[in-house]
Structure formats: structure tokens, C-alpha cells
Structure 1
Amino acid sequence: MHFNKKLVDGELYRLSLAEKAYEQTFVRSLVPLFKLTNAIWENSDYNISNKKPLGYVKGIKWHEEYILKHFLDMQNIAQFYSEDKMYEAFNRGAIGGFLSEKQTVKLLMDDGRLSVSPALNSLWKANRSIII
């Protein structure tokens, strides 16, 4: 880690999970730079979103925790090894929805990388955020 080796003076953002690995003293800003909001996104066509599996990325901690906690029937999920592959599957209609952070989805839509505009799942609780 560059921070532990004193190769950098600070970081733009850091997840609190990584702080456990820090050996150097650090100071957290009192004012967050931005807020990450994790969410479930789905195809606005109910026939697709209800019948196709939900995509998630193996290795993204909050994705894995959400799947383990909420999905007893593992046939209703589709595992991917990259976000790009998951978004491609959504564009093809292979999955009915996916887990992703709100700002990421906005950027993908602004860049035209999602051919189908996903809708925020109506059951998703708005209080699921990470402050950075």
C-alpha cells in the first residue's frame, strides 16, 4: 500500500474497510466529498425484470452480502466477474436487473453504455448509502 510506505500524503477517498490495513496515522476529513448509494436496478419492462435473474459481481463485498442475505433461491441470480460483463448482459436482456451504485449507473446512462434505461427498484430502501 502506497499510503503505508509514505509514497502518498493522502487519498481522495477510501473505504473504511481498507483503514484496518493502515499502519500509518491518518486523519479523516470532517466533510464527506460525496455519498455512494448502492441500489438495485431493473428493466422497466415488468415481464423482463420479474422473469430474468438479478445480476451481481462476485468480489464486490456489498453485492455478495446482499445476495447471501436476500436470495434463498439461487436460480434467480446471475453471477459475473466484472461490472462490464454484467452491464452487457443487462443490455442483451439476459438479466432483468443488477446491483450497482447510483452515480455509476448515471454515468453509464450519460455515456450511452446502457441501451436500456434501468429503473431504481421500488422496494429498495433509500437509506443504503456509504459516506466517503
Structure 2
Amino acid sequence: MLDRRTFLIGLTAISGLASAPAALAASRMAYTRQAFEEAQKAGKPILVEITASWCPICKAQKRVLGQLLPAPEHANLAVFEVDFDSQKEVVRALGARMQSTLITFKGATEVGRLVGVTKSDAIKQLLNKTI
């Protein structure tokens, strides 16, 4: 029979395992020029996700990214979310013409771009270009 101490130790261990994928996941943040430039200067792998709340393709991309980003190989990936409707200057500066645009960088160098793509394999290939 389990005593209280053994139960609590087991519960703590399980809790730690459950949160492990979150600790490995890429860091997601709203785009700011300063944070983006700092990530570039640090030579970090970067994903810029240009989205709109009303866009069904963007929602599908978010689901796929939600499955891919927790992978250990993406732990250092900085993910910047750009709102297509409220951050038009950023959208223009990045050369994007529409929402549902994913752009990857290795430091300051753009290494790939997808527009309107929701296939997991294609998005995974794009992310792998940053590694």
C-alpha cells in the first residue's frame, strides 16, 4: 500500500515529466523590433509567423506548429508572432504580402518562406532549415 510520502514523491515526479516538453519548446513572443534584432544578433534560429485572427489557414498553421515546436531540436527557436492587421509596417518590412506567411532566419539571414502552407512535412522542412 502506498503511504502518503511515496504518493507525493511520485506525484512530483510525474508533474516534472509532464512539464518537460514545455521547457524544451521554442519560445513564442509577440514581435517587437528590439527582440527580433537581438535574436538576429545572437545568431538564433528564428521563425516569424504572420497571422490574422480571422484566417483559417493561420489557425491550421498554428495547430501544426503546436505539434512541431515542442520537439527538442526546436528548443532554441525564437518564434515571433506578427499580427497582419495591426502590424502593417512589420509585414511590409518583412516583404510579406499576406497573412499565413511563415519566414525562417538563421541569425540575420532569411533561409526560407512559406505562404498559405499547412502541410506538416513542408512546415517541418522549413523549421529544419534554421537548425
TM-score, with normalisation over the residues of structure 1? Answer: 0.25
| RCO comparison, higher one (Cα < 8 Å, 6+) | 1
TM-score norm. by structure 2 comes to: 0.25
More helix by share: 2
